[in-house]
Amino acid sequence: MTVLEVMERLGSKEETLIKSWIEDAVHLIQSNTKEKIEVSKRDLIKSSGSTDNVYILPADLVSLENISIKDTSDSKYKKIRRLSNQPHYLAEDISP
């Protein structure tokens, strides 16, 4: 369906406004039904400081589907689970 067709069905000549509403509707659809899924990959770094485990979520994220980590033993991405609470204590010594 073209923008023009939407405008004609609505009886509107406000092209910019209609395009904005269409983008809003697509945003709402992506938030509710996950129509189109994107994938972003980042390098995972060996932590040496207190904020090295912090990664910024994609700036254009609408809805998070899942997080995976690459299992290097079989080169497959495996979904990891979400912690509902931030850990109260933490072993900052990262040596095994």
Partner 1 sequence: MSSYVDKEWFYYLRGRELLIYKIQGGSSTQRISQSGVFQSYDKELMYPDENISEGLRIEYTRVSEPFVKEALETTTSYESGIIISFEDGTGSSSRDVIDLGSASTTEFVANDKIRIRGSSSNDGDYTILAIATDGSTGYRQLEIAADSFTAESVGERVTITQIPVDDSTSPSTTSHINLNKMLSLAVLDYCKAMIAERNGEMDKKEYFMKEFYSKLGDNESNKRNISVTFPAGPFAIK
Question: Which of the residues 19 through 38 are near partner 1 (CB under 8 A)?
Answer: 19, 21-38
How far is the C-alpha of 21 from the C-alpha of 16, rounded, in Å? 9
Q: What minimum distance in Å lies between the beta carbon of 51 and partner 1?
A: 9
Q: What minimum distance in Å lies between the beta carbon of 20 and partner 1?
A: 9
Q: Which residue has the tokens 């709402």?
A: 28
Q: What minimum distance in Å lies between the beta carbon of 85 and partner 1?
A: 8
Contact map string, positions 49 to 88, toward partner 1, x by CB under 8 A: ---xxxxxxx-xxxxxxxxxxxxxx---xxxxxxx-xxx-
Q: What minimum distance in Å lies between the beta carbon of 22 and partner 1?
A: 6
Interface with partner 1 (CB under 8 A), residue total 78
- How far CA 67 is from CA of 13, 16, 70, 83, in Å, comes to 43, 36, 10, 12
Interhelix angle 3-10/15-33, nearest 10 degrees: 100
